Amino acid sequence: MKMLAAQKTLLLLCVGVSLAHDFITSEQFKNIEERLIATEETLKELKRENEALRTITKASRDELESIQAENKAKKVAFSAGLLASGSQQFGPFDTRKTLVYQKIFTNTGNAYDPNTGTFTAPVNGVYCFRFYAHAHPFNQMAVSLHKNNQLQCSVFVLKPETNANGSNGVVLSLQKGDEVCTQLWENSWVFDDENSYTSFSGFLLFSL
């Protein structure tokens, strides 16, 4: 508003000078010139203030977006079953295979990738993980949880006479970008169906 008023004043002064040039004294003309100069200085000052306000506004917006992104990153939890539908026996394989859990119950923060079976830590923090595996009779079942390809904990059943289940869990300190997954051992089986006997879950306890 101040800038608009100053611009109007400057315009009126210019028009007035143009119309009254032949009817004013040199002293009056000098006074008008001084007022014009003062108005121009006011305009310059207002422009500087506006630029400072724009800078402050941008910095505040950037800070708010950063806080919102950080708060969003702190909301991390996922849970998934091995099969999205149907039933299947997995294994055996000659080498260890990452289990890809495709039935997503929740994936807040999208840190778990259902295409690879890998959880990637979005922030530095302490996380809790738990996994379950189901075995059919006379089939060895062995599954391990890995952090950055390093084994952390496992479940193992050696050829049970009836159906068997195994579960394990661990609390890990992770850096942003660390990866966690479960792997089926070589020469082992796991089974899953619509009941999601074989599953993988994790969530952020607190950030560091």
User: What sign does the CA torsion over 131, 133, 99, 106 have?
Assistant: negative
pTM confidence score:
0.67
Residue 31 has a pLDDT of 80
Q: Which residues contact 116 (CB under 8 A, 6 or more apart)?
A: 98, 100, 181
Write the pLDDT tens digit of every residue in 79-107.
999 999 999 999 999 999 999 999 999 99
Q: Which two tokens stand for residue 21?
A: 């040039």
Distance (Å) of CA 110 to CA 100, 101, 178, 181: 15, 14, 14, 15
128-157: per-residue pLDDT in tens? 999 999 999 999 999 999 999 999 999 999
Q: How many residues does the chain have?
A: 208
- Could you report the per-residue pLDDT of 2-21, keeping only the tens digit for each? 555 555 554 555 545 454 55
